[in-house]
Structure 1
Amino acid sequence: MYHPKAIVDLIAGNVRKTRNPFGAFHFVMNRWWKNLDLPRDGSTLFYTGLMVQSVPFIERITRQLEALEDTSWAPLVGYGSWIPKRLVQVGSLFMTTPKERAPYEQILKDMVALLRRSGVRFAYRPDLDLYSGILLYDLGDQEAFEAHARFVAKRLQEAGVRTLITVDPHTTYAFKVLYPKYVGAEFEVRTYFELLRLQGEPNGTRVTLHDPCFFGRYLKLSHVPRRVLRDVGVAVADVQQSGPLTHCCGGPAESVSPKLSREIVERRVDQLKQTGAPILSMCPICMGNLKKAGADVQDLASFLARRVSSSGNGQNRKDQT
């Protein structure tokens, strides 16, 4: 295990300097939206919080951390915070490849397609789509979290944003619970799947949903994606550890101990495989971690996009926001 303070200081330093945990250029992390002709004006914003886009970066860094953990080289990780900001940003240009980024960028495109198919109106501003800071909170650096959250909230408020359509459990929890509590910033926060209005006919398809901790235990939203799947004719085969009883995928432990994270996710994969049905995830961090343990897992949005596309039975509705 790495010394937690070394990891926290490294992440906090990156967030302070570059507004994301990896010290990357913003344009390197966030380019999925190009050529989609998304409107920029409006008080309702599609908001990724950079979480889906982060997975290829997390996978690359985690492989390096796992290789160094419990070796004589491990203490050197703490010196990463001394590397100049510009050098770290330049390094981010080579951290991931287009092939590695493509599946996660497609998830966001699928979410946009599903929202449009459901008649939801929204804008997208890549310059306002910033990391929420949730990992700082998770790792106990409340001071750094609050400083970053104030910066993000101010940017959104000055732009007249009132509603956020979120795409992952971490960003959803941050804006729905933590921002009002710690920095007094309140937005209407809706997950993308709460706004979906889709239809499809049953054809015997069954899936198993992995509930992320924030959606299952804390935000109590697990029933919503099950409703969406039922609407498109898909049955959900749940394991015992679902909904408010869901088990963690181990993702939050990756930055401190990749080995511990792997032990946790392997147990979770064994649970999910009990149904024999394909596994769906509602969280990019969970999906990446489950895949690392050998699970055949798909993102909920991408599954739904293929489902309604093949059936041709999506139904447009008026603005749901």
Structure 2
Amino acid sequence: MYDPKVIIDLIAKNVRETMSPFGIPKFLANTWWKKAGLAQKGEYLLFTGMMYQFVPYIEKSTQYLEQFEDSKWTKYMPYAGYVPGYLSGTGLALMTSAKEKNKADQHLLNIVKILKKSGVDFKYVPELDHYSGILLYDLGDQESFVEHARIVAKKLKRQGIEKIITVDPHTTYALKVLYPKYTGISFDVKAYFEMVNFTGSNGSGRVTLHDPCFYGRYLELSDVPRQVLSGFGIEYKDVEKSEKFTNCCGGPAESISPKLSSEIVQRRKDELETAGEKIVSMCPICLGNLKKAGADVEDLSSLLARCIN
């Protein structure tokens, strides 16, 4: 295990310098929208929180963390704090394959397709789409989280943003619960699958849903994707630890201890596989972690996009 304080301080430094936990310049990480033909005016703002975009970089950085965890090199981790965030982030971006970036982008393109088919009046403004800071909160650095959250919330407020569509549980929880609590600024926040409003005939089969912690335990949104899937004729088979009682995929622990994260996700994979069906995830972190563990898993957005006639 790495020294948690060293990792947390490094993430906080990167967020302060680049608004990214990995120090990756936004112009390198956030390019998916250029392929989508999105409007810049609409009732709702599509706010990705950069989580899907970050997944390829999370996986690449975790490879190195796994390699050096508990080795003699761990003691040199504090020196990473002396490297400018944008410099280390640019290096990480250049080491990450375009193929993996395109895979992550496809989930966002699927969500856009779903929203358009549902007739949602939404816009996307790249300049307003920022990381929410949620990992800082998860790891206990409340001060750095609040500092970052205030910056993001004020930017949105200055532009008159009131209604937001989110695409992942971490960002949804941050904007819906934490931002009002710590910044005093509130928005009408909806997860994208709450906006689904179309009929399709391409749905069939059975799946097992993995409920992310934030959707299952804290936001209590687990029933919504189940209702959506049922509407398309897709059956779901729950395992014992589902909805409010879901188990974690281990993702948030990756930055501190990839080994611990691997143990947690293996247990969750084994639980989900008792259902004997393909696993569907609603979170980019869960998706990446379960895939790494060898699970047969896909993102909810991919499944819903296939239901469009």
TM range (shorter): over 0.9
Q: How does 1:243-258 map to 2 (within 5 A)?
A: 243-258=243-258
How much does 1:303 deviate?
A: 1.1
Letter in 1 for 2:54: S
Q: In the alignment, what sits opposite 2:132?
A: 132
Given that residues 198 and 232 in structure 1 are in contact (C-alpha distance below 8 angstroms), is that contact kept between their aligned partners in structure 2? no
1:277 aligns with 2:277: yes
**Size of the alignment, in residue pairs?**
309
What is the CA-CA distance between 1:92 and the residue it aligns to? 3.9
Q: Is the 8 A contact 1:164 1:189 kept in 2?
A: yes
Q: CA deviation at 1:249?
A: 0.3
Q: SS of the residue aligned with 2:123?
A: coil
Deviation at 1:93, TM superposition (A): 3.9
Is residue 265 of structure 1 aligned with residue 275 of structure 2? Answer: no
Partner residue, 2:121: 121
- Aligned partners of 2:73 and 2:253: how far apart in 1? 20
* One-letter amino acid of the counterpart of residue 190, structure 2: R
Q: Which amino acid aligns with 1:159?
A: Q
* Distance (whole Å) between structure 2 residues aligned to residue 204 and residue 180 of structure 1: 40
RMSD (CA atoms): 1.2
AA aligned to 1:12 is A
Is the CA contact 1:229–1:235 (under 8 Å) kept in the aligned structure 2?
yes
CA contact (8 A) 2:18 2:86 kept: no
Letter in structure 2 aligned against 1:100: E
Deviation at 1:20, TM superposition (A): 0.7
Separation in structure 2 between the aligned mates of residue 86 and residue 214 of structure 1, nearest angstrom: 30
Partner Cα distance (2:26, 2:176) in 1: 24
Matched, 1:95 2:84: no
How far residue 297 of structure 1 moved from its aligned partner, in angstroms, is 0.6
Match of 1:228 in 2: 228
1:242 — aligned with what? 242
Task: Name the CA distance, whole Å, in 1 between partners of 2:167 and 2:74.
Answer: 34
CA drift at 1:200: 3.5
Q: Which runs of 5 or more residues in structure 2 are unaligned?
A: none
- Over the matched positions of the two proteins, sequence identity in percent amounts to 56
Shift of 1:201: 4.7
| Preserved contact between residue 200 and residue 233 of structure 1 (Cα < 8 Å) | no
In structure 2, distance between residues paired with 1:180 and 1:263: 35
Note the residue ranges of structure 1 that are not aligned, 5 or more in a row. 313-321
SS at match of 2:298: strand
Q: Structure 2 length as normaliser, TM-score?
A: 0.97
When residues 204 and 187 of structure 1 are mapped into structure 2, their CA distance, relative to the original with a 3 A threshold, is closer
* Partner residue in 2 for 1:80: 80
Describe how 1:197-208 pairs up with structure 2 within 5 A.
Answer: 197-201=197-201, 205-208=205-208
